[in-house]
Amino acid sequence: QAIYLKDYQAPAFWVDQVKLDVALDDHQTRVISTLSLRRNDQREAGLPLVLNGQGLTLKRIELAGQPLAETDYQYQEDLLTVARVPDQFTLVTEVEIDPANNTALEGLYKSNTMFCTQCEAEGFRRITFFPDRPDVLTRFTTRIEADQQRFPILLSNGNPIERGELDNGRHFVTWEDPFPKPCYLFALVGGNLQAVKDTFTTMSGREVALEIWVEPENLHKCDHAMRSLKASMRWDEQTYGREYDLDIFMIVAVNDFNMGAMENKGLNIFNSACVLAEPKSETDAAFQRVEGVVGHEYFHNWSGNRVTCRDWFQLSLKEGFTVYRDQSFSADMNSAPVKRIEDVAMLRTAQFAEDAGPTAHPVRPDHYIEINNFYTLTIYEKGAEVVRMMAELLGRERFRQATDLYFERHDGEAATVEDFVACMAEVSELDFSQFMRWYHQAGTPKIEASGHFDADARTYQLTLRQHTPATPGQADKLPLHIPVRMGLVGPNGHDLPLELNGEQLGTETVLHLREAEQTFTFHNIAAEPVPSLLRGFSAPVKLAFDYSREQLAFLMAHDSDGFNRWDAGQRLAVLALQHLVNQIQANEPLQLDPALIEATRTLLNGEMTDKAVLAEMLRLPSEAYLAEQYEQVDVDAIHKARSFARKALADALYDDFLRLYKVNQRVGDYAPEANQIAERSLKNTCLGYLMAREDEATIALTQEQFNCADNMTDQRAALTLLAHAEDPRLGAEPLRRFGESWAHDPLVMDQWFSLQVTRPQADALDRLKMLMAHPAFSLKNPNRVRALIGAFVGQNRVNFHRQDGQGYQLLADVVIELNRLNPQIAARLVIPLTRWKRMTSERQDMMKAQLERIRQESLSPDLFEIIEKALAA
């Protein structure tokens, strides 16, 4: 069942051209495909023609104009095999498919009233017979016909070349894509849609039509995506020299979508949550997500489409690189340090947890059962970190030369990770052979650092030891090439000049850790410095250094690296919270570390001008991040410790929080721009602390903010605090009113569902059950499932891990049902249940019992692969 990278073979046939003729119908869509096939002369002679096809009803098959006899071909186990074929020929197949019953949302399916497609990774085989693999690049011509009234808009990749009316109220449009592409980039849309239109003039002066197609009620939510699209196009020209290539670029918003969005050539299809944004209904975070995802999909036009992947093992070649590109874009458009903080926080909680669990895999996996299970944080986010390290190693200018070389050399090709790294190596003349281990080895490397100051010799010795723990199927790990950006902060708070091996390196340098252990001796150090290590998070590793609380407070105040100032604060908070966890476990009275209170007081009263970063620095590490610090996780103690700390900080610093809350009330009109976003973020962080006290004055403030807000960011922040209050009456009325006034808007309702089930109090599970019975809940809509079930299991740790095991049971029930409806979503949702190993033993048993229960079902490959890994661990 598993597929191995080492078994890769070039395709036996190329497809020079495909003509598709799609007659849309809810239950009986007819697809006629005409393939111009040619034998690959690099493969052995006489190979049969084998095409993928899943769930297709074959109506007709003709080779070179002649119908094939039933004995000439076979269609079984999702493969169509024609044993004897010439070297070059035309194959026509006619099939019937049932989009309206396609709940997997792969291939052609219906979302509300519209038809749409999702072909990556292997959805095209659900539309027609084809060599469904990314290394077969083909020119597509697509004729779509449908009922004109219900589906006036018919879209596909490339340019429209013909349209016309037919009998019975039907019409057709024909699209031609001049760029050969793998079939996973095919897209088709049919619906009653309206567009916001604009144009973009490329750097060479070509005018490109831009269109964002949505259901009519969403027309007012497209402006931000359009702005983001134009900004992306300009940014890719300026930063990477990449120009758009077609005359038209379209985005379509759909409500039912398994992932965030899809980069189909010239016709991106988006989850509506990643494209629609308007101040009254979407938060600042949503605006930023839209900008990031629009950029991401647009950037794929080069990193993904013009240069695609040879096989799905290379997925990170396009995804890691494109995430790196979208991260840089967002950093340029917004607060760069905050973007980095957010990305690293996510990596260090969610990706590190993946590395430490049963589904750990390398950035380039060497085998899989279901490729859809590999659209992971490791492929995307760790993959981006690996590209970031290469960019760091090369420096801005040479990295640009290397990407130029990559795009030029492989334009129109299906490439590999080696091809990409070879361009880095060629331009820089650096040796990347050890670096390649980042692609092969799973797991999070850990660096243990220690320092020794010798006052007499005036030296500071920094010793770095690296070790990567074993992961399933990969017991032994070799040392990685790890770039450690660092400085030494002197007693006066300034970076000291670094002298290493007789060389003057300035005040900051990158150490290249290549061995299991290395010592770096810095000379001419007069007084004991505090090392600032892994600045900017220069490598995706865990770094341990035995900092004192005083040293951390010092770095928080003085480190010249903004990221490390934040990280020092996080470390100080982790120490304080771990201390509370110990007190809770020992049944001792709780007391919050005064050092954390003082550090927070300094932040609140300091002259930090970057409010966005200040808000980040005021935030305590999440429960998920705290859990990452333990082999065995005490979910309840962590939750209790964090809640206690929030309340203790609020009690000690009430006046400061209140003052900052008031100072950051906006004057003037709302806009989703950086300064205001920072202000709102800071203000609402302060309100969050104040509400930890649930005192009358704060309740009144929060209610006022809920009632008077003119934007969703402020309103939702207030609503969440009321809904999460100890006193359940506080949230009741606001939730009712909010739910009523937004009943027409599914994206806002998703938030309404989420914030009720992320309530930390013990009644959350009952609320979840009640909301699952709400008429607006449906297991068929992935956004709704994520908003309700996903939010509960992912963000409400104490309640998911309830001691009676009911959280686990509910998740298993849902997963069993989703296994039939939507395997991809089922396999994703189950992940928290697979991480049983780090829980206490009673919980382990309950979690495994639910995994066993799921295993009794007839499982999709998606779920099968995950459950087997989870139970084998």
Handedness of CA 545, 549, 555, 556 (dihedral sign): positive
Of these residues, 297, 319, 381, 628, which one is catalytic? Answer: 297
Residue closer to ligand ARG, measured from CB, 2 or 663: 2
Closest CB 364 distance from Zn ion, rounded Å? 16
Cis omega before residue 121 (within 30°)? yes
- Interface segment toward ligand ARG; rule CB under 6 A; list 43-51, 254-262, 480-488, 597-605: 254-262
Handedness of CA 370, 376, 378, 379 (dihedral sign): positive
Q: What is the dihedral angle through the alpha carbons of 619, 621, 624, 629, rounded to the nearest 10 degrees?
A: 180
172: CB partners within 8 A, 6+ apart: 143, 144, 145, 146, 154, 162, 163, 164, 166
Residue closer to Zn ion, measured from CB, 212 or 384: 384
Residue 553 is a binding residue for ligand ARG (CB under 6 A): no
3-state class percentages of the chain: helix first, strand second, coil last, to nearest 5:
45, 20, 30
Partner touching 745 among ligand ARG, Zn ion, none, CB below 5 to 8 Å by kind: none
Find the binding residues for ligand ARG in span 364-383 (CB under 6 A).
372, 375
Find the binding residues for ligand ARG in span 659-688 (CB under 6 A).
none
Residue closer to ligand ARG, measured from CB, 375 or 654: 375
Residues linked to residue 521 through DSSP beta bridges, in sequence order: 461
Residue closer to ligand ARG, measured from CB, 372 or 551: 372
Partner touching 372 among ligand ARG, Zn ion, none, CB below 5 to 8 Å by kind: ligand ARG
Say whether 591 sits in a helix, a strand or coil: coil
- Interface segment toward ligand ARG; rule CB under 6 A; list 77-85, 116-124, 630-638, 757-765: 116-124
- Interface segment toward ligand ARG; rule CB under 6 A; list 27-35, 253-261, 446-454, 785-793: 253-261
Closest CB 93 distance from ligand ARG, rounded Å? 24
Find the binding residues for ligand ARG in span 121-160 (CB under 6 A).
121
Residue closer to ligand ARG, measured from CB, 177 or 370: 370
Find the binding residues for ligand ARG in span 799-838 (CB under 6 A).
824
Residue closer to ligand ARG, measured from CB, 107 or 487: 107
Note whether 836 and 361 are within 8 A (CB): no
Q: Show the tokens assigned to 599.
A: 């550090």
Closest CB 50 distance from ligand ARG, rounded Å? 23
Residue closer to ligand ARG, measured from CB, 127 or 574: 127
Exposed (0-12), middle (13-18) or buried (19+): which is 512, by Cβ within 10 Å?
middle
Say whether 125 sits in a helix, a strand or coil: helix
Residue closer to Zn ion, measured from CB, 263 or 561: 263
Interatomic CA distance for residues 479 and 241, integer angstroms: 36
Residue closer to Zn ion, measured from CB, 288 or 322: 322
Reference 382, options 316, 447, 318, 448; nearest CA is: 316
Residue 120 is a binding residue for ligand ARG (CB under 6 A): yes
Interatomic CA distance for residues 873 and 870, integer angstroms: 6
Closest CB 739 distance from ligand ARG, rounded Å? 31
Q: Show the tokens assigned to 491.
A: 């007693």
Question: Going residue by residue from 284 to 313, which x/- string records binding to ligand ARG, judged by CB under 6 A?
Answer: ------------xx----------------
Partner touching 616 among ligand ARG, Zn ion, none, CB below 5 to 8 Å by kind: none
457: CB partners within 8 A, 6+ apart: none
Residue 319 is a binding residue for ligand ARG (CB under 6 A): yes
- Interface segment toward ligand ARG; rule CB under 6 A; list 241-249, 257-265, 329-337, 449-457: 257-265
Say whether 472 sits in a helix, a strand or coil: coil
Strands 57-63 and 49-52: unpaired
Residue 108 is a binding residue for ligand ARG (CB under 6 A): no
668 torsion bin: left (phi>0), alpha (psi -120 to 50), beta (else):
left
Applying CB under 6 A, among 15, 187, 189, 261 the residue interacting with ligand ARG is 261
Closest CB 826 distance from ligand ARG, rounded Å? 13
Closest CB 173 distance from ligand ARG, rounded Å? 25
Residue numbers of the site for Zn ion (CB under 5 A)?
A: 319, 322
Closest CB 736 distance from ligand ARG, rounded Å? 37
Closest CB 417 distance from Zn ion, rounded Å? 16
Residue 341 is a binding residue for ligand ARG (CB under 6 A): no
Active site residue 297: yes
Handedness of CA 674, 679, 680, 685 (dihedral sign): positive
Residue closer to ligand ARG, measured from CB, 374 or 566: 374
Interatomic CA distance for residues 467 and 478, integer angstroms: 8
Exposed (0-12), middle (13-18) or buried (19+): which is 397, by Cβ within 10 Å?
exposed
Say whether 323 sits in a helix, a strand or coil: helix
Closest CB 418 distance from Zn ion, rounded Å? 20
Residue 89 is a binding residue for ligand ARG (CB under 6 A): no
Say whether 748 sits in a helix, a strand or coil: helix
Amino acid at the residue 708: C
Residue closer to Zn ion, measured from CB, 140 or 270: 270
**DSSP alpha helix (H) spans, 170-314:** 223-240, 284-299
Partner touching 137 among Zn ion, ligand ARG, none, CB below 5 to 8 Å by kind: none
Q: Show the tokens assigned to 507.
A: 């005040």
Partner touching 21 among Zn ion, ligand ARG, none, CB below 5 to 8 Å by kind: none
Residue 262 is a binding residue for ligand ARG (CB under 6 A): yes
Q: Show the tokens assigned to 631.
A: 């082999």
- Interface segment toward ligand ARG; rule CB under 6 A; list 47-55, 114-122, 806-814, 861-869: 114-122
Closest CB 364 distance from ligand ARG, rounded Å? 16
Closest CB 373 distance from ligand ARG, rounded Å? 9
Interatomic CA distance for residues 15 and 136, integer angstroms: 7
Say whether 535 sits in a helix, a strand or coil: coil
- Size of the residue set binding ligand ARG (CB under 6 A): 14
Interatomic CA distance for residues 391 and 331, integer angstroms: 15
Residue closer to ligand ARG, measured from CB, 268 or 681: 268
Closest CB 824 distance from ligand ARG, rounded Å? 6
Residue 258 is a binding residue for ligand ARG (CB under 6 A): yes
Note whether 727 and 763 are within 8 A (CB): no
Residue closer to ligand ARG, measured from CB, 561 or 862: 862
Number of neighbouring beta carbons within 10 Å of residue 733: 12
589: CB partners within 8 A, 6+ apart: 583
Partner touching 407 among Zn ion, ligand ARG, none, CB below 5 to 8 Å by kind: none
Residue 263 is a binding residue for ligand ARG (CB under 6 A): yes
**Element of type H or E holding 603:** helix 594-605
Applying CB under 6 A, among 31, 259, 534, 863 the residue interacting with ligand ARG is 259
Interatomic CA distance for residues 543 and 344, integer angstroms: 13
Residues linked to residue 75 through DSSP beta bridges, in sequence order: 80
Closest CB 274 distance from Zn ion, rounded Å? 11
Strands 66-67 and 459-467: unpaired
Find the binding residues for ligand ARG in span 35-54 (CB under 6 A).
none
Helices H, strands E: what count in the chain? 31, 33
- Interface segment toward ligand ARG; rule CB under 6 A; list 89-97, 256-264, 428-436, 702-710: 256-264
Interatomic CA distance for residues 818 and 14, integer angstroms: 37
Residue 353 is a binding residue for ligand ARG (CB under 6 A): no
Residue 117 is a binding residue for ligand ARG (CB under 6 A): no
Note whether 695 and 650 are within 8 A (CB): no
**What residues act catalytically?**
297
The binding site for ligand ARG (CB under 6 A) comprises: 118, 120-121, 258-259, 261-263, 296-297, 319, 372, 375, 824
